[in-house]
Amino acid sequence: MNIGYVYGVASAVGYSVASILVRVGQRSRPDDDGVFMSVFVNVVVLGVAAAVVTRPSWDGAAMVSFMVGGVVGTVAGRTSLLRAVRLIGPSRSNAFVTGAPVAAAVGGWIVLNESITALEALGGVIVITGLLWLVRARTAGVGPDRVAVPLSSYLIASGAPLSFGLAFVFRKWGLERFPSSVIGAFVGAATAYAVILLIETLRGKLAERTRSNFTNVSWWFVGAGVATSFALLSQFQSFTYLEAWVVGILQSTQSIWTIGLSLLFLRGDDRINTALVGSVALVVAGVVLISTQA
């Protein structure tokens, strides 16, 4: 068995655990989605690891690729995902991540010369269909409470798979030129955190955000940072064995793990219903179809 598949699934589990931890932490932090602290922990954990690994020959283009991947994936992707976790719950927000293979497949075809067959394209259509079913069902109001979720919440969630898929491509491209998963993950996380600090500064909230996160530490957010550090390292490792779109497929199993974890730890917080399970099942069917061509 290709060890890359193990790393890819491990990454998905890590991100799922992080989503659950963030959702619990958000209960006591109404104005904080957990991005600031979780990415800070990424920088610390990955920085320590990067300091002790062997460094390949320097490649400036690869560093730029890692940096772009960090901004696109960690800042845009994780911000969209964690904001969606607050708005629509971890299971529904992570269901959108299943669309990442489609973005990764298109980006990989254009940038990395990865091929896409007719069956893979069909799988992509099935994935999109499943996501559209989820959006339509939830915006119309489902379940006993008949609560409709605003379409804007799903638009925020849809930014996650697009960002993650593109980040896969940049990270894979960088690793082809600078084969160090640990350093690549650290460079991306450090760049992402620098951008987050800049954004908070421009918003005039840096001092407030720093004070709230470091004087009253949310250990749930810290735990999420550790989980995403593990997930990032696993994801980068999987890129050394697999194509970017295949990593995206494995990452899309995140929705399945998140539903299971939600049922165990977020009872009453995240509502699981037929529309959610059915749409995820359809998405997984599309993912499986794509994976048969891997």
Query: In this predicted model, what pLDDT tens digit does every residue of 92-149 receive, in sequence order?
Result: 776 777 777 777 877 877 787 777 778 877 877 887 787 667 666 655 544 444 556 6
- Within a domain: 290: no
The domain in which residue 28 lies consists of 3-113+154-269
- Within a domain: 140: no
Q: Are 217 and 40 in contact (CB under 8 A)?
A: no
Q: What is the mean pLDDT of residues 30-56?
A: 93
CA distance 188 to 167: 10
Residue bearing the bigger pLDDT, 289 or 232: 232
In angstroms and rounded to an integer, the radius of gyration of the C-alpha atoms of the chain is: 18
- Within a domain: 124: no
The percentage of residues in the chain with a pLDDT greater than 90, rounded to a whole number, is 39
- DSSP H/E element including 195: helix 181-202
pLDDT of 108 reads 79
Q: For residue 100, count other CB atoms closer than 10 A to its CB.
A: 30
CA distance 276 to 6: 26
- Within a domain: 280: no
- DSSP H/E element including 38: helix 35-50
pLDDT of 285 reads 83
- Within a domain: 231: yes
Residue bearing the bigger pLDDT, 190 or 158: 190
Mean model confidence pLDDT for the chain: 83
7: Cα separation from own chain's centroid: 15
- Within a domain: 172: yes
Largest Cα–Cα distance in the chain? 59
- Within a domain: 133: no
Q: What is the DSSP letter of 53?
A: S
The percentage of residues in the chain with a pLDDT greater than 70, rounded to a whole number, is 89
Q: Which residue has the tokens 């539903």?
A: 259
For residue 89, is it left (φ>0), alpha (ψ between -120 and 50) or beta?
left
Q: Are 192 and 70 in contact (CB under 8 A)?
A: yes
pLDDT of 293 reads 60
Residue bearing the bigger pLDDT, 214 or 124: 214
pLDDT of 291 reads 66
The predicted-structure confidence for 223-280, as pLDDT tens digits, reads as follows 999 999 999 999 999 999 888 878 887 887 777 787 778 777 776 555 667 777 787 7
Q: What is the mean pLDDT of residues 188-212?
A: 94
- Within a domain: 77: yes
Q: What is the DSSP letter of 72?
A: I
CA distance 198 to 143: 41
Alpha helices in the chain (DSSP H): 3-26, 35-50, 60-69, 78-88, 90-96, 100-111, 118-140, 151-177, 181-202, 206-214, 219-239, 244-251, 254-265, 274-291
252: Cα separation from own chain's centroid: 9
Q: How many domains does the chain have?
A: 1
